[in-house]
């Protein structure tokens, strides 16, 4: 398969997969407090840390892409930190293990950073590495994650802990990747999240969301964006989204009842009903009940 068969640029106005994932798994503010406390204890400026994290992430990913696309080894003489050097080396070792497991030929191709867009333009994405078998119409999707590697800049300890929260996010991220390839007629052999951490590369194979679950998640994400534009119209109505359990709760503060709540279970939506339909019905029921009283 030639790379020019895939879209080669992001399309203006189409959300990225990271936007959807960030909505479903918002930042944990308790983790934020612990992280800020850690920075303070180690006399590290937060802006400097975030800038370094982005720089290191970009550099490592670029090294991987150069190695995949052109066979170029990283400029090790320019890498001052041995931890970053070791992390890149382990990534290259992993790429070589992939090549051994899935040898390339005229039908099988390794592609770095392909950009794909959902057929309904609900999202778009780019994965770090995709292995495509054009003859069998199958793909293997691989994505790199670095974990705390920016600590190396300040020579701080980076004890590895399995980041289960990131694995959950990866499950949704990769499920959306999988769905896009399925739309194009490809089956996914494997979806692998690889955590690069100094002396090891930790791979995880991820269970996928069903198409129905993904459709509901994307429907809810689109509805959320629409509601943000009309936020001033419903300041006193609280909408609590529990996407992980596929439920939405509408909560209305009232003088009579304190809070009046209606829960919507995604799995129990009637055929042909959208989340927006169900939310509008719930709003109408709340309004009717309060007016009746």
Domains and CATH numbers, the chain: 3-209 (3.90.320), 212-292 (no CATH)
Backbone angles phi, psi at 197, to 5 degrees: -145, 95
In the chain, the percentage of residues whose pLDDT exceeds 70 is 82
Please report which confidence band the pLDDT of residue 3 belongs to, taking 50, 70 and 90 as the band edges. very low
The answer to whether 262 and 249 have CB atoms below 8 angstroms apart is yes
The yes-or-no verdict on residue 2 having pLDDT over 50 is no
Alpha-carbon gap, residue 17 to 122, rounded angstroms: 9
Mean pLDDT on 148-162: 66
The answer to whether 109 and 134 have CB atoms below 8 angstroms apart is yes
Out of 80-89, 108-117, 163-172, least confident range: 163-172
The answer to whether 181 and 72 have CB atoms below 8 angstroms apart is no
The yes-or-no verdict on residue 272 having pLDDT over 80 is no
- Per the model's pLDDT, the better-predicted residue between 195 and 161 turns out to be 195
Task: Indicate the average pLDDT of the chain.
Answer: 79
CA distances 41 to 28, 34, 99, 156, Å, are 20, 11, 43, 11
Please report which confidence band the pLDDT of residue 29 belongs to, taking 50, 70 and 90 as the band edges. low
Alpha-carbon gap, residue 8 to 10, rounded angstroms: 7
Q: What angle do CA 243, 245, 247 make, to 5 degrees?
A: 65
Q: What is the pLDDT of residue 185?
A: 92
CA distances 214 to 20, 165, 180, 277, Å, are 11, 19, 11, 18
Q: What one-character-per-residue DSSP string does 165-229 give?
A: HHHHHHHHHHHHHHHHHHHTT-EEEEEEEEEEETTEEEEEE-PPPPHHHHHHHHHHHHHHHHHHH
Alpha-carbon gap, residue 3 to 112, rounded angstroms: 9
Q: What is the pLDDT of residues 172-185, one digit of tens each?
A: 888 898 899 999 99
Q: What is the pLDDT of residues 70-88, one digit of tens each?
A: 888 888 888 888 888 888 8
- Per the model's pLDDT, the better-predicted residue between 125 and 201 turns out to be 125
The yes-or-no verdict on residue 188 having pLDDT over 60 is yes
Q: Is the pTM of this model over 0.75?
A: no
Q: What is the pLDDT of residue 69?
A: 84
Alpha-carbon gap, residue 98 to 164, rounded angstroms: 24
Backbone angles phi, psi at 128, to 5 degrees: -70, -40
Q: What angle do CA 195, 196, 198 make, to 5 degrees?
A: 140
Q: How, if at all, do strands 115-117 and 124-126 pair?
A: antiparallel
The yes-or-no verdict on residue 101 having pLDDT over 90 is no
The yes-or-no verdict on residue 150 having pLDDT over 80 is no
Q: What is the pLDDT of residue 255?
A: 65
User: Rg of the chain over CA atoms, in angstroms?
Assistant: 23
Alpha-carbon gap, residue 263 to 274, rounded angstroms: 15
List 115's β-bridge partners, or say none: 126
Q: What is the pLDDT of residue 55?
A: 85
Q: Please count the other Cβ atoms lying within 10 Å of the Cβ belonging to residue 156.
A: 12
Please report which confidence band the pLDDT of residue 119 belongs to, taking 50, 70 and 90 as the band edges. very high
Q: What is the pLDDT of residue 120?
A: 93
Please report which confidence band the pLDDT of residue 122 belongs to, taking 50, 70 and 90 as the band edges. very high
Q: How, if at all, do strands 247-254 and 238-242 pair?
A: antiparallel
Backbone angles phi, psi at 114, to 5 degrees: -70, 150
The answer to whether 94 and 194 have CB atoms below 8 angstroms apart is yes
Q: What is the pLDDT of residues 204-259, one digit of tens each?
A: 777 778 888 899 889 888 888 777 766 544 457 777 777 767 788 888 877 665 77
């Amino acid at each position: 398969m030639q790379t020019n068969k895939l879209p080669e640029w992001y399309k203006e106005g189409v959300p990225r997969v990271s936007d959807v994932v960030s909505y479903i798994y918002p930042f944990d503010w308790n983790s934020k407090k612990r992280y800020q406390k850690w920075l303070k204890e180690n006399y590290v400026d937060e802006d400097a840390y975030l800038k370094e994290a982005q720089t290191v992430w970009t550099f490592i990913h670029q090294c991987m892409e150069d190695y995949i696309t052109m066979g170029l080894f990283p400029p090790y003489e320019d890498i001052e930190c041995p931890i970053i050097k070791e992390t890149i080396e382990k990534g290259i070792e992993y790429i070589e293990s992939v090549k051994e497991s899935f040898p390339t030929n005229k039908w099988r191709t390794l592609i770095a950073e392909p950009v794909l867009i959902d057929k309904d333009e609900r999202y778009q994405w780019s994965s770090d590495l995709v292995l495509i078998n054009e003859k069998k119409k199958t793909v293997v999707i691989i994505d790199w994650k670095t974990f705390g590697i920016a600590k190396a800049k300040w020579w701080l300890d980076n004890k590895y802990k399995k980041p289960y929260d990131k694995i959950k996010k990866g499950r949704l991220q990769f499920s959306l990747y999988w769905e896009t390839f399925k739309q194009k007629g490809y089956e996914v052999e494997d979806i692998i999240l690889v955590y690069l951490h100094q002396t090891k590369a930790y791979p995880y194979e991820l269970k996928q969301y069903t198409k129905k679950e993904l459709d509901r998640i994307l429907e809810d994400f689109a509805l959320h964006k629409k509601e943000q534009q009309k936020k001033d119209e419903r300041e006193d109505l609280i909408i609590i989204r529990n996407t992980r359990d596929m439920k939405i709760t509408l909560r209305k503060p009232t003088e009579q009842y304190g809070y009046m709540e209606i829960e919507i279970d995604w799995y129990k939506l009637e055929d042909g009903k959208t989340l927006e339909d169900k939310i509008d019905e719930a709003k109408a029921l709340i309004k009717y009940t309060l007016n009746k009283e």
